[in-house]
Structure 1
Amino acid sequence: MNKHSILVVEDDRAVQKLITTTLDLQGYAHRTASDGEQALMELVTKQPDVLILDLGLPDTDGLSIIKKVREWSTMPIIIVSARSEDQDKIQALDAGADDYLTKPFSVEELLARLRVMLRRVNYDRHNAQANSSIFLNGPLKIDYSSGSVWLGEEEIHFTPIEYKLLCLLSKNVGKVLTHNYILYEVWGKYYEEVSVLRVFMASVRKKIDRNRSAIPFIQTRVGVGYRMMNVEYKENGDD
């Protein structure tokens, strides 16, 4: 079975069967949807690698699906539609589609275009993996692969719990993490002692915020939790 997953959104049962049978023969994992509501549910919950989308859906226009997907994902979108006018193609591509096939189409051409999209997926994954081991935020650098933390040219030493806290915040930079979420993620179970968390967090902040006249790396949301700030973003005055 191919490691990639495809979502086929097509209300014409014959066309849907043609596409899925072709994908089956090539070993692609796939799921199907016959309307926009079902498609959005599949997209959000399953997060496929590629979307093959018909524009003429019974409950919505496929253009609205493209626009919604582009609000949160860069997944490749291949349109397969009976709409053959240039304006239809332009609208779909401008909305965020990556490719456009007009019905009737050959399965060989569909597979060729799908392979192009999957090469892009593989390329993006490779780059993400290559860059994911290093976190940079202003003078703060975390090398996840070696477990080291640097503040400018100086390496800062952390206890295991402190390091787990720092990594959790850095991997969710810009997001407010609640006390309960942090306690569960770091201690591995539901842990009610928020006072213990405050002690460790104070130690982490002391180590990374020393000698800083600008905003701190970690912001406290009183009664809620903590958030790591994007220091460069904030210091540049962009809000």
Structure 2
Amino acid sequence: MSNNKYRILIVEDEENIRDFVETVLEMNGYQVMTAATCEQGMTMFASHNPDLVILDLGLPDRDGMDMIEEIRKSFITPVIVLSARLAESDKVKALDMGANDYIAKPFGTAELMARIRATLRNARYNAAARVSPEGVFKARDLSIDYDRRQVKINDEKISLTQTEYNIVAFLSEHSGKVMTYSSIIHAIWGMEDSGSIKRLQVNMANIRKKFGSRPGKNRYILNELGVGYRMIDGE
């Protein structure tokens, strides 16, 4: 099967490793982009929206952990860490921060390709499991066009990140019902860890700000303290 629909971003400062991984991936039919620093990597990520990131941790400008953290603020794009750091604590930290896999250097080509296939397969299953609703949701002057993934208030488009939109769409599918923190986290990220509730709260704070909510006046999404969130009933 050709993998040419998959775009993979390699962020690695060691030129020989970067060139080697790029060659192996291209021979296996993947589209490849490369970056040598964390900043370059983030720029490439933002402009090309890859399907998978292969990331070194020891980058010259910033730690690769910073890039995992930045990606996970808004995206569920799979990340495989490729690192010379062998300490279990580094591995645990990277996985806790949202990396999907961790491969220690030196590594075998066959193992790398198998891990890439498995990671992309899991990402595809997770995406397929989340069936998007169709049509338009309306509540007061809020409207959500599911087909266009577009949210408007008073006919004015609200600019949301991918994660923010997914949260809003999920709550609207269950409008009128309180959705627990846990159920939202599982629907959006597919897993729960120690930082999940904080991540959800940060995203919710951004959503409500963009929706024009003020303390004590939240017209569309209500916070049921200590339990979860509830979108107001649709029409």
State the TM bucket, normalised to the shorter chain.
0.5 to 0.7
Q: Which has the higher contact order (CA 8 A, sep 6+)?
A: 2
Residue 172 (str. 1) matches residue 151 (str. 2): yes
Report what 1:47 is aligned to: 49
**SS of equivalent to 1:51:** strand
The alpha-carbon distance between structure 1 residues 103 and 171, as it changes in their structure 2 partners (threshold 3 A), is: same
Residue 3 (str. 1) matches residue 35 (str. 2): no
Q: Kindly indicate whether the alpha-carbon contact (under 8 Å) linking 2:22 and 2:32 is maintained by their aligned counterparts in 1.
A: yes
Q: Kindly indicate whether the alpha-carbon contact (under 8 Å) linking 1:36 and 1:60 is maintained by their aligned counterparts in 2.
A: yes
Aligned residue pair count: 170
Q: Which amino acid aligns with 1:61?
A: D
Aligned-pair distance for 1:95?
1.5
Report what 2:169 is aligned to: none
Report what 1:133 is aligned to: 134
**Dislocated runs of 4+, deviation >3 Å:** 134-145, 173-176, 226-232, 234-239
The alpha-carbon distance between structure 1 residues 100 and 57, as it changes in their structure 2 partners (threshold 3 A), is: same
Aligned-pair distance for 1:175?
10
Max Rg structure = 1
Whole-angstrom distance in 1 between the partners of 2:19 and 2:219: 51
Q: Kindly indicate whether the alpha-carbon contact (under 8 Å) linking 1:63 and 1:92 is maintained by their aligned counterparts in 2.
A: yes
- Give ranges in structure 2 of 5+ residues lacking alignment: 160-209, 231-235
Whole-angstrom distance in 2 between the partners of 1:57 and 1:141: 43
Whole-angstrom distance in 2 between the partners of 1:175 and 1:15: 52
Computed over aligned residues only, the root mean square deviation of the Cα atoms, in angstroms, reads: 3.6
**SS of equivalent to 2:8:** strand
Whole-angstrom distance in 2 between the partners of 1:5 and 1:30: 6
Whole-angstrom distance in 2 between the partners of 1:125 and 1:137: 25
Aligned mate of 2:77, from 50, 75, 78: 75
Residue pairs, 1:58-69, within 5 angstroms? 58-69=60-71
Residue 233 (str. 1) matches residue 221 (str. 2): yes
The two structures have a TM-score, normalised by structure 2, of: 0.61
**SS of equivalent to 1:43:** helix
The two structures have a TM-score, normalised by structure 1, of: 0.60
Q: Which amino acid aligns with 1:9?
A: V
Whole-angstrom distance in 2 between the partners of 1:134 and 1:236: 28
Whole-angstrom distance in 2 between the partners of 1:95 and 1:2: 29
Identity of aligned residues (%): 35
Residue 18 (str. 1) matches residue 20 (str. 2): yes
Whole-angstrom distance in 1 between the partners of 2:136 and 2:212: 12
The alpha-carbon distance between structure 1 residues 98 and 176, as it changes in their structure 2 partners (threshold 3 A), is: farther
Aligned mate of 1:114, from 105, 113, 116: 116
Q: Which amino acid aligns with 2:221?
A: Y
